[in-house]
Structure 1
Amino acid sequence: MKRLFPFAAIAIFFSACHSTSDYEKVFKDPNLYCATVHQLNTVVMGNNFGPIVASRNYLYAAVAGYEVIAGGYPDRFPSLAGQLHGLQAVPKPDTTTHKIDFELASLLAYCKLGEAVTFPEGSMRGWVDSLKQMAKDHGMPSDMFEASVAYGDTVAAAIKAWSKKDHYAETRGAPEYMVNPDSPGRWVPTPPAYTPAMEPHWREIRYIAMDSVQQFMPHPPYTFDVKDKNAPYYKEVKLIENKGDSLSPEETWIADFWDDNPFKLNVSGHLMFGTKKFSPAGHWMSITGIAAQKAGADFATTTAAYAKTAVALFDAFIQCWNIKYTYNTLRPETAINKYFDPNWRPHLQTPPFPEYTCGHCTISASAAEALTSIFGDNFAFNDTTELEFGIKSRSFPSFRTAAVETASSRFYGGIHYKYSTDVSHVMGTEIGQLVADRIKIKK
């Protein structure tokens, strides 16, 4: 049984211990927003959405939650309208008739977008009902409650309309990836599930802060060559093969800690079953909450941190997937099994998309830059994200250090070549720096 995550316990605590007129104190607690993000994380995981699609849920939910706060506190937080591609003016609140609790409205808008972007209706209903009941239990006046719900709905509708123009729907009906097993070095499905290529048209999704998917183009991958021992590609194959056969306990822990496989297929004889974790984007959403809590950030700043990090994650995924399906490179597991050792297996399960470039490496470096721009460099933190999946925590002196370790984890896990992780880390850093410089979330 999974242990109860601290953020998730907050709503239960507030519901159980309250007076009849402390709603303002309750809803200004940033931990309640973190708990709500964790709830979306759990819903994403439970619905088996891949890491790329998950980043879309986090983006629009975080922007909706932040835009409510920007409407309520315009002197401190500027709207992202005009900063994010395609986002026009977001409706401002009308407080002439009724007061609005902007924190409650922010929570409700976050939930509505987190659910509406991808999930079937009702996925967040239980959590939303608990938030509304919490407001009533803690004495929020009925007119304020209704005005807060209405404003949350208004902002959510605007962000939802914006989300519908990002080309996501069109990619649902796009042609499937064409596998060509006779083309040396080209990606083919990998064991144990041999799942089709995931999201081959994601580079067609509207980017948010970048100018173009051509803006951050790394050098091409090494030329496929498994015969010449002096060839860079050959050396990379042998490097990862040898590392996979000699992992230290520390390297194994690092690989497992950053695995973030949202659905691992376990095979034991004729028995197959899946186990779930948060996706890479979900892991960094969790880190954002951990950082906000440690920094003592208020509710509004917490929403800003989530929004900026979500933008960095989203654009980084688009750019990385652009590179993946430009070059369509073979996974290490396939190359080693076919040309060197048919019995070799990576420590981690190989995900269903081309190798170059590395998704987790790219998005982690990008998120680290966004978080550094908010909380500063040398911000030490203890990452407890994996505790509920039975993996002990790891501590880091900075977000950038965590991102570097993430890149190493994919090499240790046997699913990405070392040079690929290095290139991806650089690309992600550049994307994150762009987001950090361009997206203004505090005045």
Structure 2
Amino acid sequence: MKLITRFLFILILANISACQPKPNPAGLDAFTRFQLIDWNKHLSHIIITDIFSPPVASRIYAYTNIAAYEALVPGYPACQSLAGQLNGLENVPAPEKGKEYYYPVASAEAFATVMKKLTLVPANTEKFETEYLEKIKKTGIKKEVLENSLAYGKKVGEHVIAWALKDNYLESRAMQRHMLSEKINEWQPTPPDYMQAVEPHWNTIRPFVMDSAAQCKPRNPTPFDTLPNSKFYKEAKEIYMLGENSDAEKQLIAKFWDDNPNVSYTKGHITYFKQKLTPGGHWITITSNVCKAKNINPMEQAEAFVFVTTSLADGFISCWDAKYKHVHIRPETYIEKYIDPEWDPLLQTPPFPEFPSGHSVISAAAATALTNLFGDNFAFTDSTQLAIGLPVRKFNSFYDASREAGMSRMYGGIHFRPANEYGAEEGKEVGNFVYQKLKTRRNGQLAKLP
């Protein structure tokens, strides 16, 4: 009798054990731990290849990372969806009851689904996606779990795409080009390419978190003047003298933060172009490096990317709203006309109005997001530009880096001081608004990362 009782007890334990969720295969969690960083790196490569302008790139970074976050949320009960918090985002599809999922795979698929829709050549992502899936399969993940997860990730991605298609981006493609003015204080195309103004209607794009494009207005720039004793002339003379007295360190700083996605070079009768990261892409790389250095979990990484990318995207919308309201003249145009006709800036002047500085706005916005998440006085090393042969730079804080990014535009000869300083104020306001409004945690507390 004792033997029968013991046998039945063992049988019951075996049945109970069979009903418990099986642990993930060894190596699966390790493989997916930093996958969001890998996917963002791939996206940056595609953005460089497709030559997206900085504002457009920021939009793509935001939608892809929001999709990745939303597909990961069901696996982390302490976190919540951003539906109802992000402008226009309705309830995201929930996983089906009774099905087993591995949410990091769903997250990657959501990212890939949105990325293929918003970039120019889906095949470039499909190849990366195929390689990713082959590596996932080698970890031993169950076929059913993999299929469930991919299907759910695709559903979330499609939901985010439907939301993205309502942000007025497509409509803005058909809007009238910026009309040049004959006023001497307004922006004019600059050498060497004399390009049309980029994204004059970017303020019509639906913000992600801000209430409107004009919510975080910068202070007004210095009134235009050509008299040598005027404040504006002195601001222009400051940029001129920075160029005339530049040293190796200032030139390195200017080039380190240049992040011009499409620089032209002319040799004889031949003009060719070199593509680089956008300013937003630079801060995506910084975010990636910080996440790895802190060794935070996938959900915490997703939170970091959501706060940074939405701050960047709203920062560009805010900045571009001000740019085309002021239509401010560039230093290159002013200095060559009123100070020295032979003067050239160190960097190529970007094709849009001067005020405020886009680098200053979005760098301050991203730095504010990262400071709110990881704390101030966070020392880090920025190796973003190793790929183009520039050395790493060390910073004592995120704000330290953003201030240097702003100053780099003055060293490069493409912005006046108010565009830098007032732009930084604007960006910080955007970053703080995003952080205060978005609640990724169910307890309602502001997100803080280890």
TM range (shorter): over 0.9
Q: Select 2:59's aligned residue among 48, 56, 75.
A: 56
Name which one, 1 or 2, has greater alpha-carbon Rg: 2
The match for 2:292 is: 293
The match for 2:448 is: none
The match for 2:124 is: 123
SS at match of 1:123: helix
TM-superposed deviation, 1:388: 0.7
The match for 1:85 is: 87
TM-superposed deviation, 1:214: 2.6
Q: Do the aligned partners of 1:213 and 1:318 also contact (CA within 8 Å) in 2?
A: yes
CA distance in structure 1 between the partners assigned to 2:65 and 2:406 by the alignment: 26
The one-character-per-residue Cα deviations of 1:314-353 (angstroms, maximum 9, x if unpaired) are: 0000000000000111110011112222221111110000
Residue 197 of structure 1 pairs with residue 201 of structure 2: no
CA distance in structure 1 between the partners assigned to 2:248 and 2:392 by the alignment: 15
CA distance in structure 2 between the partners assigned to 1:381 and 1:23 by the alignment: 29
The match for 1:221 is: 221
CA distance in structure 1 between the partners assigned to 2:94 and 2:216 by the alignment: 35
Residue 38 of structure 1 pairs with residue 41 of structure 2: yes
Q: Report the residue type matching 1:33 in the other structure.
A: L
TM-superposed deviation, 1:132: 1.1
Q: Normalising by structure 1, report the TM-score.
A: 0.92
CA distance in structure 2 between the partners assigned to 1:123 and 1:429 by the alignment: 35
Q: Report the residue type matching 2:61 in the other structure.
A: Y
Structure 2, gaps ≥5 residues long? 1-23, 443-450
The match for 1:13 is: none
Q: Report the residue type matching 1:159 in the other structure.
A: V
The match for 1:234 is: 233
SS at match of 1:122: helix
The one-character-per-residue Cα deviations of 1:116-142 (angstroms, maximum 9, x if unpaired) are: 124233231111111111111221111
The match for 1:272 is: 271
CA distance in structure 2 between the partners assigned to 1:188 and 1:123 by the alignment: 37
CA distance in structure 2 between the partners assigned to 1:212 and 1:33 by the alignment: 29
CA distance in structure 1 between the partners assigned to 2:245 and 2:441 by the alignment: 47
SS at match of 2:180: coil
CA distance in structure 2 between the partners assigned to 1:214 and 1:193 by the alignment: 30
Q: Report the residue type matching 1:29 in the other structure.
A: R
Q: Give the percent of matched residue pairs that are identical in Structure 1 and Structure 2.
A: 38
The match for 1:3 is: none
CA distance in structure 1 between the partners assigned to 2:365 and 2:67 by the alignment: 21
The match for 1:371 is: 370
Residue 156 of structure 1 pairs with residue 157 of structure 2: yes
Q: Report the residue type matching 1:42 in the other structure.
A: H
Which segment drifts farther, 37-46 or 112-121? 112-121
CA distance in structure 2 between the partners assigned to 1:313 and 1:25 by the alignment: 30
TM-superposed deviation, 1:241: 0.6
Q: Report the residue type matching 1:196 in the other structure.
A: Q
SS at match of 1:392: coil
TM-superposed deviation, 1:381: 0.8
The match for 1:25 is: 29
Q: Do the aligned partners of 2:112 and 2:125 also contact (CA within 8 Å) in 1?
A: yes
Structure 1 segments of 4+ aligned residues over 4 angstroms from their partners: none
Which segment drifts farther, 20-29 or 185-194? 20-29
CA distance in structure 2 between the partners assigned to 1:186 and 1:54 by the alignment: 26
TM-superposed deviation, 1:219: 2.5
Residue 167 of structure 1 pairs with residue 168 of structure 2: yes
Q: Do the aligned partners of 2:28 and 2:136 also contact (CA within 8 Å) in 1?
A: no
Q: Normalising by structure 2, report the TM-score.
A: 0.91
The one-character-per-residue Cα deviations of 1:375-422 (angstroms, maximum 9, x if unpaired) are: 111111111111011111111111111111111111111100012100
SS at match of 1:330: coil
Task: Count residues with an aligned counterpart.
Answer: 419
The match for 2:401 is: 402
CA distance in structure 1 between the partners assigned to 2:27 and 2:95 by the alignment: 20
Q: Report the residue type matching 2:91 in the other structure.
A: A
Q: Do the aligned partners of 1:112 and 1:124 also contact (CA within 8 Å) in 2?
A: no
What pairs up with 1:6-21 in 2 under 5 angstroms?
Answer: 21=25
The match for 1:327 is: 326
The match for 1:246 is: 245
Q: Report the residue type matching 1:413 in the other structure.
A: G
The match for 1:12 is: none
Q: Report the residue type matching 1:25 in the other structure.
A: D
The match for 2:7 is: none
TM-superposed deviation, 1:113: 1.0
TM-superposed deviation, 1:95: 4.5
Residue 188 of structure 1 pairs with residue 192 of structure 2: no
TM-superposed deviation, 1:230: 2.1
The match for 2:314 is: 315
CA distance in structure 1 between the partners assigned to 2:195 and 2:74 by the alignment: 44
Q: Do the aligned partners of 2:222 and 2:418 also contact (CA within 8 Å) in 1?
A: no
TM-superposed deviation, 1:271: 2.5
Q: Report the residue type matching 1:115 in the other structure.
A: K
Q: Do the aligned partners of 1:27 and 1:104 also contact (CA within 8 Å) in 2?
A: no
CA distance in structure 2 between the partners assigned to 1:127 and 1:60 by the alignment: 19
Which segment drifts farther, 375-384 or 265-274? 265-274
Q: Select 2:70's aligned residue among 67, 70, 82.
A: 67
CA distance in structure 1 between the partners assigned to 2:337 and 2:68 by the alignment: 49
CA distance in structure 1 between the partners assigned to 2:240 and 2:280 by the alignment: 28
TM-superposed deviation, 1:23: 4.9
CA distance in structure 1 between the partners assigned to 2:206 and 2:191 by the alignment: 32
RMSD of equivalent CA atoms:
1.3
CA distance in structure 2 between the partners assigned to 1:118 and 1:41 by the alignment: 11
TM-superposed deviation, 1:21: 4.4
SS at match of 1:191: coil
The one-character-per-residue Cα deviations of 1:78-102 (angstroms, maximum 9, x if unpaired) are: 11111110011101112413x1111
